[in-house]
Structure 1
Amino acid sequence: QILSYRTTTREGYKQYASDSEICKSCSYLDKCTQSQNHTKQIQRHIWQDYLDEADHLRLTQMNKDIYAKRKETIERVFADAKEKHGMRWTKLRGLKKVSMQAMLTFAAMNLKKLANWTWKGPCPA
């Protein structure tokens, strides 16, 4: 049978449940649910459709190829920041000061990249 909507929890889950009167006489009851009141219940997050779509897109070949390039581009920038520009530790305290240090570090890295481009020409990424 079709499970009817019951409620939405504070955590963002929609709850659906079956009618116990219909389920009592069903021949598939033991395969469907083990509940004492003969009710099948499921929960589904309100954003589950979007999560399913994101999961589907993640597994396409195009996105797998893009993700494979991540280690050559994004991860390499952060590794260089840690190893060459002192981003492993900070002596500063507070979000504002650490954000300022990060912005200055990445600005310096962008200037280095720009200088390399003017000497060699842009990389055909």
Structure 2
Amino acid sequence: MPYKRPMTKKGFFKKYEYVYDEEYDCYLCPNDKILMYTTTTRNGYRQYKLDPKDCKDCPLRNKCTKSKNMTKVIERHLWEEFREYADEIRHTMEWKEIYPQRKETIERVFADCKENNGLRFTRLKGLKKNQQNAWLIFACHNLKKMSLLRGKYRKKPSKNSIYHSKYTKKNNFILKITYIQ
């Protein structure tokens, strides 16, 4: 996964400055107040809120939130622990060796599909139709890669082989004739 910097306003606390406690499923703010779990949104984010009474007289409120109801809200995705695990991997030596290959493998696929297979613009209306179109384009791209790899590692017939192929041109068609010696 690529690293994405935290998108917080300048001068405010970043999400990682709030400590998450897995055992009690809550966050701890820099002023040692507890943000308790309240609800889960339809997009799969768990919301943790601080009591407005605690925020009202907090000396760090200007660096924490600018909400009118004086409530700090932190959202945590249901799969946030996997993001944190991926972030830990980012600091290993193995990742630092492998990550530069990303531009040659993964990003190259998107670039090829954008340039050669019409993924630069959408020609269909609706999310579902465009999603199916993208799946079809990537499936074709994978088939193309597989056929190129298969051709790369295909064994060429030896001179002692009993099967021989001969190419002839007949009526503007190239025919491959295989015969046994």
TM-score scaled by structure 1? 0.58
Structure 1 residue ranges, 4+ long, deviating more than 6 angstroms after superposition: none
Q: Which protein is bigger by CA-based radius of gyration? A: 2
- Tell me which amino acid in the other structure corresponds to 2:67: S
Relative to its length, the structure with more strand (as a share) is 2
Q: Match of 1:26?
A: 58
User: Cα offset for 1:62?
Assistant: 1.9
Aligned: 1:110 with 2:153: yes
Looking at structure 2, the residues matched to 101 and 26 of structure 1 have their Cα atoms a distance apart, in angstroms, of 60
Looking at structure 1, the residues matched to 74 and 143 of structure 2 have their Cα atoms a distance apart, in angstroms, of 48
User: Cα offset for 1:28?
Assistant: 3.2
User: Cα offset for 1:19?
Assistant: 0.7
- Aligned residue among 28, 47, 54 for 2:86: 54
Q: Match of 1:2?
A: 34
Q: CA RMSD in A?
A: 3.6
Q: Which runs of 5+ in 1 are unaligned?
A: 83-87, 116-125
Q: Percent of counterpart pairs with the same letter?
A: 37
- Aligned residue among 75, 91, 101 for 1:43: 75
- Aligned residue among 46, 58, 61 for 1:14: 46
* Alignment deviations for residues 24-64 of structure 1 (CA, whole Å, 9 cap, x no partner): 23333333322111111111112122112112212311221
User: Cα offset for 1:18?
Assistant: 0.6
Q: How many pairs were matched up?
A: 98
Looking at structure 1, the residues matched to 144 and 93 of structure 2 have their Cα atoms a distance apart, in angstroms, of 38
Looking at structure 1, the residues matched to 96 and 70 of structure 2 have their Cα atoms a distance apart, in angstroms, of 44
Q: Determine helix, strand or coil for the equivalent of 1:43.
A: strand
Q: Determine helix, strand or coil for the equivalent of 1:4.
A: strand
Looking at structure 2, the residues matched to 64 and 20 of structure 1 have their Cα atoms a distance apart, in angstroms, of 44
Looking at structure 2, the residues matched to 110 and 22 of structure 1 have their Cα atoms a distance apart, in angstroms, of 67
TM-score scaled by structure 2? 0.43
Looking at structure 2, the residues matched to 89 and 12 of structure 1 have their Cα atoms a distance apart, in angstroms, of 35
Q: Which runs of 5+ in 2 are unaligned?
A: 1-32, 118-135, 158-181
Q: Return closer, same or farther for 1:10/1:107 CA change in 2, 3 Å cut-off.
A: same
Looking at structure 1, the residues matched to 82 and 37 of structure 2 have their Cα atoms a distance apart, in angstroms, of 19
